[in-house]
């Protein structure tokens, strides 16, 4: 594959400044330029983008700057013969650190005290409310880059870690790995269930009313995957009924989450606006991936992270 232009689509601004991404990609012999929705593409182009556009199918290769590529029509890429690569592999610190933040907030009640701070409120949580992460069980659903990072940190905190992955293969710091058909058994004893899997036909609606019913009533759900992995109405009903103790959600069914959505001021929820992966080095991490693949393409080797 001969790449003679790297076109950085303006949608990358959803994750990092467009100019920073363009600058980070400079340095090889291949020219780099920012492009908007009016641009056209040809067989010498690599497009770096956050969002899909139909016109990208005219390029040689499209690089999505997210790990999740559920918004891309993989079959159309295969039909067009356009390569599609994703950005899995770069979120092994950011997202797991955010997950540790959610777990710590719930256990140590930090979110409650932060909410009260504006009222100079010295009220203590009930004696029974705070607990330690040490000794609690977490079930990590999806044991790839992000799930492994969560498992490593949870184990370091003295938690009991179990996990779920398609293959069922063992993972470091995970005492027992279940397969997706064993999901109910995997979550049953867990104080925390952390979703770190892709959105696929198999995972859409995976966390439904029945699974939430299986969870402990003092258990917490964390979703850093994609909103539709969880059935929205079922989660709201479980939170309202106290069937689970709370949920931390970074990924939502509609983004931005509508202003009137009940989760915004739900006392059992922590809502973040899809920022679990945010870092001031995002442009550098993406540029390293793209530049490695430009070199591979030049040498005629297969692209890393190729999904179509
Ligand atoms: P990886 O590809 O590294 O890992 C995905 C993991 O999910 C694998 O362990 C895989 O199993 C597992 N998996 C796939 N299908 C199922 C299933 N049906 N049930 C249980 N596990 C399953 O991806 P990443 O860790 O890089 O990212 C995971 C997802 O997180 C992304 O697809 C994206 O949607 C989301 N994400 C969200 C971010 C945010 O900002 N909130 C940032 C980055 C990613 P196996 O190992 O057996 O193949
Ligand atoms: C943007 C990260 C992903 O799939 O959802 C995330 O990688 C987006 C900073």
User: Domain range holding 18?
Assistant: 5-90+279-299
Per-residue confidence at 90, pLDDT binned at 50, 70, 90?
very high
Q: How far is residue 249's CA from residue 244's CA, in Å, rounded to a whole number? A: 14
Distance between first and last Cα of the chain: 15
Q: How many separate domains does the chain show?
A: 2
Ligand nearest to the CA of 279: 2
State the distance from the centre of ligand 2 to the C-alpha of 79, rounded, in angstroms: 26
Is 198 a pocket residue for ligand 1 (Cβ < 6 Å)? yes
Residues 167 and 229 occupy one common structural domain: yes
Q: Is residue 305 part of a domain?
A: no
Query: Which pLDDT score is estimated for 173?
Result: 99
Q: Which atom of ligand 2 is nearest to the CA of 69?
A: 4
Residues 244 and 285 occupy one common structural domain: no
Residues 11 and 43 occupy one common structural domain: yes
Q: Is residue 235 part of a domain?
A: yes
Residues 225 and 245 occupy one common structural domain: yes
Reported as a single tens digit per residue, the pLDDT across 247-270 is 999 999 999 999 999 999 999 999
Q: Which atom of ligand 2 is nearest to the CA of 86?
A: 7
Kindly tell me if the per-residue pLDDT of 29 is higher than 90. no
Q: Is residue 219 part of a domain?
A: yes
State the distance from the centre of ligand 2 to the C-alpha of 68, rounded, in angstroms: 7
Query: Which pLDDT score is estimated for 297?
Result: 95
Query: Which pLDDT score is estimated for 196?
Result: 98
Per-residue confidence at 27, pLDDT binned at 50, 70, 90?
confident
Q: How far is residue 158's CA from residue 154's CA, in Å, rounded to a whole number? A: 7
Reported as a single tens digit per residue, the pLDDT across 282-293 is 999 999 999 999
State the distance from the centre of ligand 2 to the C-alpha of 101, rounded, in angstroms: 18
Q: How far is residue 37's CA from residue 15's CA, in Å, rounded to a whole number? A: 17
Is 223 a pocket residue for ligand 1 (Cβ < 6 Å)? no
The protein residue whose alpha carbon is closest to atom 12 in ligand 1 is 142
Query: Torsion-angle region of residue 305: left (phi > 0), alpha (psi -120 to 50) or beta?
Result: left
Is 164 a pocket residue for ligand 1 (Cβ < 6 Å)? yes
Reported as a single tens digit per residue, the pLDDT across 154-189 is 999 999 999 999 999 999 999 999 999 999 999 999
Is 142 a pocket residue for ligand 1 (Cβ < 6 Å)? yes
Q: Is residue 308 part of a domain?
A: no
Mean pLDDT of 8-12: 98
Query: Which pLDDT score is estimated for 81?
Result: 98
Kindly tell me if the per-residue pLDDT of 35 is higher than 90. yes
Q: How far is residue 122's CA from residue 124's CA, in Å, rounded to a whole number? A: 6
Q: How far is residue 39's CA from residue 59's CA, in Å, rounded to a whole number? A: 11
φ, ψ dihedrals at 146, nearest 5°:
-75, -50
Q: Are 64 and 86 in contact (CB under 8 A)?
A: yes
Residues 50 and 126 occupy one common structural domain: no
Residues 67 and 115 occupy one common structural domain: no
φ, ψ dihedrals at 139, nearest 5°:
-110, 115
Q: Is residue 20 part of a domain?
A: yes
Kindly tell me if the per-residue pLDDT of 201 is higher than 90. yes
Return the best residue to mutate from 68, 101, 142 for the ligand 1 pocket (most ligand atoms within 8 A of CB). Answer: 142
Is 92 a pocket residue for ligand 1 (Cβ < 6 Å)? no
Mean pLDDT of 264-282: 98
Per-residue confidence at 55, pLDDT binned at 50, 70, 90?
very high
Mean pLDDT of 23-44: 96
Q: How far is residue 71's CA from residue 151's CA, in Å, rounded to a whole number? A: 27
State the distance from the centre of ligand 2 to the C-alpha of 226, rounded, in angstroms: 10
Q: How far is residue 226's CA from residue 202's CA, in Å, rounded to a whole number? A: 13
Residues 74 and 134 occupy one common structural domain: no
Look over the chain and give the mean of its residue pLDDT values, rounded to a whole number. 98
Reported as a single tens digit per residue, the pLDDT across 203-216 is 999 999 999 999 99
Is 196 a pocket residue for ligand 1 (Cβ < 6 Å)? yes
Residues 29 and 107 occupy one common structural domain: no
Mean pLDDT of 240-246: 98
Ligand nearest to the CA of 281: 2
Q: How far is residue 140's CA from residue 197's CA, in Å, rounded to a whole number? A: 9
Q: Are 42 and 59 in contact (CB under 8 A)?
A: yes
Q: Are 224 and 98 in contact (CB under 8 A)?
A: yes
State the distance from the centre of ligand 2 to the C-alpha of 261, rounded, in angstroms: 22
Instruction: Specify the CATH number for the domain of residue 43.
Output: 3.40.50.720
State the distance from the centre of ligand 1 to the C-alpha of 1, rounded, in angstroms: 28
Query: Which pLDDT score is estimated for 28?
Result: 82
Q: Are 253 and 232 in contact (CB under 8 A)?
A: yes
Within 6 A (CB) of ligand 2 lie 15, 66-68, 87, 277-278, 282
The residues assigned a catalytic role are 226, 255, 274
């Amino acid at each position: 594959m001969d790449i003679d232009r790297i076109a950085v689509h303006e949608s990358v601004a959803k994750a990092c400044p467009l100019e920073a991404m363009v600058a980070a990609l400079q340095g090889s012999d291949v020219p780099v330029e920012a492009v908007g929705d009016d641009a056209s593409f040809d067989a010498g182009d690599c497009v770096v983008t956050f969002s899909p556009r139909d016109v990208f199918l005219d390029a040689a290769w499209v690089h999505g700057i997210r790990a999740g590529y559920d918004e891309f029509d993989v079959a159309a890429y295969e039909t067009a013969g356009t390569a599609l690569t994703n950005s899995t592999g770069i979120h092994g610190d950011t997202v797991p650190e955010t997950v540790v933040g959610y777990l710590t907030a719930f256990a140590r009640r930090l979110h409650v005290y932060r909410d009260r701070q504006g009222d100079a409120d010295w009220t203590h949580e009930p004696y029974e409310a705070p607990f330690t992460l040490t000794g609690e069980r977490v079930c990590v659903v999806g044991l790839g880059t992000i799930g492994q990072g969560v498992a490593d940190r949870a184990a370091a905190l003295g938690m009991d870690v179990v996990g779920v992955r398609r293959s069922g293969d063992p993972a470091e710091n995970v005492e027992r790995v279940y397969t997706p058909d064993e999901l109910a058994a995997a979550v049953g004893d867990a104080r925390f269930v952390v979703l770190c899997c892709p959105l696929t036909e198999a995972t859409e609606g995976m966390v439904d009313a029945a699974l939430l019913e299986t969870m402990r009533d003092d258990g917490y759900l964390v979703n850093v995957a994609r909103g539709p992995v969880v059935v929205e109405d079922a989660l709201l009903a479980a939170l309202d009924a106290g069937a689970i103790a709370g949920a931390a959600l970074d990924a939502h069914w509609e983004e931005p989450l509508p202003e009137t959505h009940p989760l915004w001021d739900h006392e059992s929820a922590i809502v973040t606006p899809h920022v679990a992966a945010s870092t001031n080095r995002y442009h550098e991490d993406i540029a390293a991936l793209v530049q490695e693949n430009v070199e591979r393409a030049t040498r005629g080797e297969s692209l890393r992270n190729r999904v179509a």
